[in-house]
Amino acid sequence: MKKVAIVGGTGYTGVELLRILARHPEVKVSAITSRSEAGRQVSDIYPSLRGEFDLAFSEPNNEILSQADLVFFATPNGVAMQQARVLLDAGTKVVDLAADFRLQDIDVWSHWYGMEHACADLVEEAVYGLPEVNRQAITKARLVANPGCYPTAVQIGLLPLLEQGLINRQHIIADCKSGVSGAGRGAAVGSLLCEAGDSFKAYGVAGHRHLPEIKERLAIASGAPIGLTFVPHLTPMIRGIHATIYAQAQDAIDLHSLQAAYEARYANHGFVDVMPLGSHPETRSVRGSNICRVALHQPQGEDTLVILSAIDNLVKGAAGQAVHNMNLMLGLAENAGLDIMPLSP
């Protein structure tokens, strides 16, 4: 059994890591830290975990953490970059579920996250943890930047088009809708049931931190900068992200060939499900699972392609993908612990 630890385990990505790791056949959670909840049993805060872990939150302690084979940072932005080096130096691998290592361009990172970066060299070393792109590199990585939730859904939807140069790179639109858990477990007025319930709105239209991440990674995939309008929306549900992506076909498109191209692109990636042409993936069809379902459309046969992409933001968009990365980094079976059925209805 490998030993893993979680730093900052009181939020939704923390409890989701615990939910998944509780049934992982080859991994044991050796420590979970939280300054605010130190000393409390995990199951006191999360009754859904009762009987699963005999584990209390502890103060962060690098000595203890570095005894683990791998440490997950489920912390706010800016924490992992302060702590990663000492763990890496001790031979412990790191997966950061926050944004500290997601952007290669440090200046862009500082601009969007409003702080200086603490370790530019580690950014350079870090591997962007989207296994559908970087599986091999992740296998060899010490430090993985787990992708953002929106970026995961959008990239999986767009990669085949951009990798093959099939669309106009300048005017891509990603209209994305997220469940409220994307805002985390922090006590914020905007996330109250009475504020976010039975209502719908856009937010961050002027600029959202996932925009530069998507642009950087898609530019890498397409070999040239891309133009993207990204509008996130808040949907009155708990889990799920649905991306509706609009792209102008470069030339005449044969939709059946495109479907075949998507199927081929992801044939070797078991967590991506390319649905039959004309499908409409529902977020509930991936609820609780690590699956991304994608469907292609060409409305009225015109030159605007519409790609639909649905994930569970807490699983494929966070904790599940982190465990996927862990499996690769520790040499375990790729889907170990992730063979979870979606919960529907």
Site residues for a second copy, 207-266, by CB under 8 A, read: 207, 211, 227, 229-231, 233, 235-240, 242, 244, 246, 248
Minimum CB distance to a second copy smaller for 67 or for 248 = 248
Minimum CB distance to a second copy smaller for 37 or for 163 = 37
Q: How far apart are CA 267 and CA 162, in angstroms?
A: 17
Closest distance of CB 139 from a second copy, Å: 24
Closest distance of CB 237 from a second copy, Å: 5
Minimum CB distance to a second copy smaller for 203 or for 264 = 203
Minimum CB distance to a second copy smaller for 85 or for 284 = 284
| Rg, the chain, Cα only | 20
Contacts to a second copy from residues 107-146, by CB under 8 A:
none
Q: How far apart are CA 108 and CA 130, in angstroms?
A: 20
Q: Does 188 bind a second copy (CB under 8 A)?
A: yes
Backbone CA torsion sign across 141, 7, 324, 233: negative
In this structure, what are the phi and psi dihedrals at residue 261, rounded to the nearest 5 degrees?
-65, -40
In this structure, what are the phi and psi dihedrals at residue 231, rounded to the nearest 5 degrees?
-120, 110
- Give the binding range for a second copy (CB under 8 A) out of 32-40, 95-103, 188-196, 323-331: 188-196
Closest distance of CB 6 from a second copy, Å: 16
Coil, helix or strand for 184?
Answer: coil
Catalytic residue among 149, 176, 194, 292: 149
Strands 172-178 and 272-274: unpaired
Residue from 3, 117, 185, 269 touching a second copy (CB under 8 A): that is 185
Q: How far apart are CA 272 and CA 293, in angstroms?
A: 6
- Give the binding range for a second copy (CB under 8 A) out of 45-53, 75-83, 84-92, 218-226: 45-53
Q: How far apart are CA 255 and CA 272, in angstroms?
A: 19
Start-to-end CA span in the chain (Å): 34
Contacts to a second copy from residues 270-329, by CB under 8 A:
273, 275, 278-288, 293, 297, 299-300, 302, 304, 306, 308, 310, 314
* 159 token code pair: 């990669």
The residue among 123, 121, 170, 178 whose CA lies nearest residue 148 is: 178
Minimum CB distance to a second copy smaller for 18 or for 329 = 18
Residue from 28, 35, 40, 50 touching a second copy (CB under 8 A): that is 50
Contacts to a second copy from residues 157-176, by CB under 8 A:
171, 173, 175
Closest distance of CB 146 from a second copy, Å: 19
CB contact at 8 A, 12 and 36: no
- Which of the 8 DSSP states describes residue 47? G
Minimum CB distance to a second copy smaller for 260 or for 343 = 343
- Give the binding range for a second copy (CB under 8 A) out of 41-49, 106-114, 140-148, 321-329: 41-49
Coil, helix or strand for 313?
Answer: coil
- The yes-or-no answer on residue 149 being catalytic is yes
Counting residues that bind a second copy (by CB under 8 A) gives 84
Residue from 110, 120, 200, 257 touching a second copy (CB under 8 A): that is 200
CB contact at 8 A, 6 and 31: yes
- Give the binding range for a second copy (CB under 8 A) out of 81-89, 115-123, 195-203, 326-334: 195-203
Q: How far apart are CA 110 and CA 98, in angstroms?
A: 14
Dihedral over alpha carbons 57, 63, 64, 68 (to 10 degrees): 130
Which residues are catalytic, by number? 149
